[in-house]
Amino acid sequence: MQNNKSRKLAYIDQGLGIPILFIHGYPLSKNLWVEQIGALSTNFRCIAPDLRGYGQSVYRSTPGGGQQLSMDTLAEDCANLLTDLGIEEPVVISGHSMGGYVSFAFYRRFPHRVRALVLSATRAGADSPEARTARDNAIATATQSGSQPIIESMLPKLISPESFIHNRDLVQRVKEIMSEASVEGMIASLQAMKERPDSTPLLPKITCPTLIIHGIEDQIIPLAETRLMTNSIPGAKLVVIEAAGHLPNVEQPDKYNQVLQGFLNSL
């Protein structure tokens, strides 16, 4: 683990080759990707930051303090990290869930820096009115009671029901990753997700190779929505992972890595 001192982002930078930037979801950290980095860093340069407020990255409000965090801010953090690492060539962007929202913002802002997209367990649409209300409720809970109630309520939704009951090691690991998140980071991301733009108009304009991976038992993002997203991105390929929920790369790492490796080899 290293720290990008100028921007205060912690990150993993492992391996040599085409760079892959792994962007974690909410409320997770770079440790979401350890199995992918372990498997791929023999042939690729794997970079995984902790977004601000997560893992070992401290939460910082935007300059001036008043402006809210947005998916654009998080995408800029990622672009700045690549620049600081001397990476100017286009990279593979791999985003999970909220990391997918950040990936869309990254593509909108820096399309020339994207070689390919891997979108896992994510959606293009903005929040519905019900989802926005749920974000407000979560913000109120986190403000009053901290991160634990959020973690406890999210855990069963992140993992397939079967694994949630029988794979206690997996449940514990995901809980530990979530427990690294700061309350400020969580609240800022909830607000940013609530305000994020609809990325659906972007989809037909995506011209890079795109792989979409989804767990068949994802309880947060319905597979039907993912199919629609896939159909709107020219040439995109969808792979559905069996026996996996919202974290297919953690719940079924071997299957996930096989799919990812196949896509990367085809680039």
Please identify which residue in 29, 36, 73, 97 interacts with ligand MLT, judged by CB under 6 A.
97
Q: Does 134 interact with ligand MLT (rule: CB under 6 A)?
A: no
CB of 196 to ligand MLT, least distance (A): 9
Please identify which residue in 19, 25, 55, 248 interacts with ligand MLT, judged by CB under 6 A.
25
Q: Does 19 interact with ligand MLT (rule: CB under 6 A)?
A: no
CB of 251 to ligand MLT, least distance (A): 13
Measured between alpha carbons, how far is 40 from 36 in angstroms, rounded to an integer? 6
Nearest residue (beta carbon) to ligand MLT: 25
Measured between alpha carbons, how far is 76 from 23 in angstroms, rounded to an integer? 12
Cis omega (within 30 of 0) for bond into 90: no
Q: Does 114 interact with ligand MLT (rule: CB under 6 A)?
A: no
In terms of CB distance, is 74 or 91 closer to ligand MLT? Answer: 74
Q: Does 98 interact with ligand MLT (rule: CB under 6 A)?
A: yes
Q: Does 220 interact with ligand MLT (rule: CB under 6 A)?
A: yes
- The residue whose two tokens read 């901290």 is 146
If one counts every other C-beta atom within 10 angstroms of the C-beta of residue 72, the result is 17
Nearest to 117 by CA among 199, 261, 20, 205: 20
CB of 42 to ligand MLT, least distance (A): 28
Please identify which residue in 11, 20, 21, 26 interacts with ligand MLT, judged by CB under 6 A.
26
DSSP conformation letters of 131-198: HHHHHHHHHHHHHHH-SHHHHHHHHHHHS-HHHHHH-HHHHHHHHHHHHTS-HHHHHHHHHHHHHPPP
Residues that bind ligand MLT in the complex, under the rule CB under 6 A:
25-26, 97-98, 193, 220
